[in-house]
Amino acid sequence: MKISEHLELSEVIRSENAKRHGISNMPTEEHITNLKLLAENVFEKIRNNFRCPIYISSGYRSKELNDITIGSSKTSDHCKGMALDLDQQEHSQGITNKDVFDYIKANLKFKQLIWEGGTEQEADWIHVSYDENNLKNEVLRAVKVNGKMHYSPYK
């Protein structure tokens, strides 16, 4: 099932963790509606800007899957179909996570944009969420300290 021009539902629900644990990761109709909004307002704009595939490392997570996902929060927008983690590192085609982060930050409306891990020059991955009722454009940096992620305003 297509949720936007360049994005299949199967791409946003794919989870090796869910497969390993025999967990269903099928979204409800409400979650699919949210995923479509996220795809149209964020994913497609990124895809059209860079004119190449954009890779999703984590998309929708059912509550059960989220509960066993290390580092996830109980209030994760992934569980609502409102968040994607993007990672160009393995598939760069000349596009870096920093490029994607900078584009989103400068050009799109979003709830949260997070530079996840990595270095000052390159993130390990980019988290972006979209909630049409809460477009606060919050930009954060997540850094692992003593094994736990700590979030602070992105500078």
User: What's 112's domain CATH number?
Assistant: 3.30.1380.10
Range of the domain at 19: 2-153
Query: pLDDT, tens digit, for every residue of 36-93?
Result: 999 999 999 999 999 999 999 999 999 999 888 876 777 799 999 999 999 998 776 7
Query: pLDDT, tens digit, for every residue of 103-127?
Result: 999 999 999 999 999 999 999 999 9
Q: What is the pTM of this model?
A: 0.93
SS3 117: coil
CB 31 within 8 A of CB 9: no
Domains contained in the chain, number: 1
Query: Whose CA is closest to 126, among 76, 78, 56, 71?
Result: 56
